[in-house]
Structure formats: structure tokens, C-alpha cells
Amino acid sequence: MNKAQLVEAIADKVGGRQQAAEAVDHVLDAIVRAVVAGERVSVTGFGSFEKVDRPARYARNPQTGERVRVKKTSVPRFRAGQGFKDLVSGSKKLPRGGEVSVKKAPKGSLTGGAAATVKKAAAKKVTAKKAAAKKATAKKTVAKKTTAAAKKTTAKKTTAKKTTATAKTAAAKKATAKKATAKKAPAKKVTAKKAPAKKSTARKTTAKKATARKATS
């Protein structure tokens, strides 16, 4: 049975030839990728696929008998499960119609392949969700910091405006006080000048009284 015949064999069970071909491709791709990565793909009742390392060695060419050095390499290996062996040996009979016992493998029997792919996809989704949550939290933190900084800047500007207004008011008061002082100063000077005039008048009056007294005597 080749791949096309395998697809035809399961086409009626998965809903069509196209769906069967995609299913076979996905299963084989998952198995190959897992084995290449060094993982062991085990399906209970069917068998396991794994990667085996072969060290460098000497071998003989079967045609010439010449001794040849073989480099170190890695090869895939499949080991049939006990259920598969029993069916092939005849110790167990294949059921008529329906699936063999491989389909009824216990939960968690897949250690690689499709199951590993599903687990990896789920892990990636969880990681993506965590990363998205972290980004959202970081954005909120940045937004809060920006808002706080903006409030501080606004407060500083308001304080600066109030300080400037206070300084202008103080300067205006000082200017007003200086003008008032400048206007009052001349009045004091005039008063000071008028004072001597009163003294001279008093002296004249005293002199007149003394003259009158002399005349009378």
C-alpha cells in the first residue's frame, strides 16, 4: 500500500479524499519533525519512532569486498508495539469492521508527534497571552507615568504663573508707594520753607512791642 492507497482507505472515514490526504500529510509531517528534533514518537499499541546515532565504523563493500570507513550518522528507527506484533503474528485477530485497538489507546499515550505539536501550539498560545498581558500592563504603567508627569508639569507651570503674578503685584505696590512718597516729599519742603517766615513775623512783633514800651516810658 502506498500513500495514495492509504488516503483512499481512510477517505470515507474522514469525510473525503482531500481531508484524508491532509490528515495523512499532517501526521507524517509531525512524526518526521519530532524525530529529526531528537524526540521519540510513541503510539501505544502501534509502535514508536525515534532517532538513533550510529558511530563511525568500518564496513565492507558487498560487491568488491573492500573495507570502507563509514562516517558517523543518525538514522530513524521504528519499533512495533506489542499490540501490533500480536496482530501480525496472529495471536490476536483483527476485528471485522471498525478500527483496531490502536484507536483505543489510553489517554496520554502519545509522547510526541501530533500530541507534541498540539502541546507546543497550546504552550505558544499561553506564552502569547502572557506576553500580551505584559505589554498591556507596561502600556498602562507608561500611561500612568506620563499622566503623573503631565500633572507635575502643569502644577509647576501654575506655580510659576502664580509666582510671576505675585512678583508683578509686589512690583506694582512698590512703584505705587514710591510715587506716593515722591508726591508727599515736596509738601514737606514747602512747609519747612514757610516756617522761617513765621519766626520773622514773631520777631517783628516783639520788636514793635519793645519800641512801644520804650516810647511809653
pLDDT in tens, 38-51: 999 999 989 999 99
Mean pLDDT of all residues in the chain?
74
**Predicted local confidence at residue 68, as pLDDT:** 93
**Predicted local confidence at residue 139, as pLDDT:** 65
Greater model confidence, 5 or 113: 5
In this predicted structure, the answer to whether residue 33 has a pLDDT above a threshold of 80 is: yes
**Predicted local confidence at residue 79, as pLDDT:** 94
In this predicted structure, the answer to whether residue 195 has a pLDDT above a threshold of 60 is: no
**Predicted local confidence at residue 53, as pLDDT:** 94
pLDDT in tens, 70-125: 999 999 999 999 999 999 998 888 877 666 655 444 444 444 444 444 445 555 65
- Alpha-carbon gap, residue 71 to 129, rounded angstroms: 46
Greater model confidence, 134 or 29: 29
In this predicted structure, the answer to whether residue 60 has a pLDDT above a threshold of 90 is: yes
In this predicted structure, the answer to whether residue 62 has a pLDDT above a threshold of 80 is: yes
Residue written as grid cell 498602562 = 140
Distances in whole angstroms, Cα of residue 124 to Cα of each of 21, 88, 120: 27, 40, 6
**Predicted local confidence at residue 172, as pLDDT:** 73
Quick one: cell of 184? Answer: 508727599
**168 within 8 A of 176, measured Cβ to Cβ:** no
**Predicted local confidence at residue 168, as pLDDT:** 73
In the structure, what pLDDT confidence band is assigned to residue 140 with cuts at 50, 70 and 90? Answer: low
In this predicted structure, the answer to whether residue 2 has a pLDDT above a threshold of 80 is: yes
**Predicted local confidence at residue 93, as pLDDT:** 87
In this predicted structure, the answer to whether residue 186 has a pLDDT above a threshold of 90 is: no
**Predicted local confidence at residue 58, as pLDDT:** 93
Residue written as grid cell 474522514 = 14
In this predicted structure, the answer to whether residue 61 has a pLDDT above a threshold of 50 is: yes
**Predicted local confidence at residue 109, as pLDDT:** 41
